[in-house]
Amino acid sequence: MVALLTRQVVELRADGHRVVVVTSAAIAAGLPELGLGGARRPSDPITLQAVATVGQSALMEVYRREFARHDVVAGQVLLVPHDFIVRAQYLHARQTLGRLLELGVVPIVNENDAIADDEIRWGDNDRLAALVANLVDAERLVLLTDTDGLLTADPRIDQSASLIEEIHEIDHQHEALAGGAGSARGSGGMASKLAAAKIAAWSGVDTVIAAARRDGVVADAVAGVAGVGTTVRARPNRLPARKAWIAFAVVAQGQLVVDRGARTALEAGKSLLAAGVREVNGAFDPGAPIEIVDTDGEAFAKGLVRHGADEIHRAAGHRSDELPLGVPAVVVHADDLVALPRPVSRRR
pLDDT tens, 21-36?
999 888 888 899 999 8
Strand partners of residue 281: 255
User: What are φ and ψ of residue 216, in 5° steps?
Assistant: 65, 25
Cβ-defined contacts of 310-313 (< 8 Å, 24+): 312/256, 312/274, 312/277, 312/280, 313/280
Work out the number of other CB atoms within 10 angstroms of the CB of residue 229.
Answer: 26
Q: Which of 246, 156, 144 is nearest to 196 (CA)?
A: 144
**Torsion on CA atoms 33, 36, 41, 43, rounded to nearest 10:** -80
3-state secondary structure 231-280: EECCCCCCCCHHHHHHHHHCCCCCEEEECHHHHHHHHCCCCEEHHHEEEE
Task: Give the chain's mean pLDDT.
Answer: 87
Q: With beta carbons less than 8 A apart as the criterion, state whether 332 and 271 touch.
A: yes
The three-class DSSP label of residue 300 is strand
pLDDT(239) > 70:
yes
For the chain, give the longest Cα–Cα distance. 71
pLDDT(181) > 80:
no
User: What are φ and ψ of residue 338, in 5° steps?
Assistant: -125, 115
The three-class DSSP label of residue 141 is strand
Contacts of 179 (CB under 8 A, 6+ apart): 154, 189, 190, 191
For the segment 208-222, what is each residue's pLDDT rounded down to a tens digit?
999 999 999 999 999
Residue-range domains of the chain with CATH: 1-121 (3.40.1160.10), 132-246 (3.40.1160.10), 252-339 (2.30.130.10)
Q: Name which of 2-11, 157-166, 266-275, 337-346 the model is least confident about.
A: 337-346
Pairing of strands 140-145, 206-211: parallel
> 79 or 10, which is more confident?
10
Question: Which amino acid is residue 240, in one-letter code?
Answer: P
Residue 231: predicted pLDDT: 97
CA distance 128 to 110: 8
Residue 247: predicted pLDDT: 85
Residue % of the chain over a pLDDT of 70? 92
E strands within 63-139?
74-79, 106-111
CA distance 20 to 110: 11
Q: With beta carbons less than 8 A apart as the criterion, state whether 25 and 19 touch.
A: no
Q: With beta carbons less than 8 A apart as the criterion, state whether 143 and 208 touch.
A: yes
Question: Which amino acid is residue 258, in one-letter code?
Answer: V
CA distance 288 to 290: 6
CA distance 34 to 231: 40
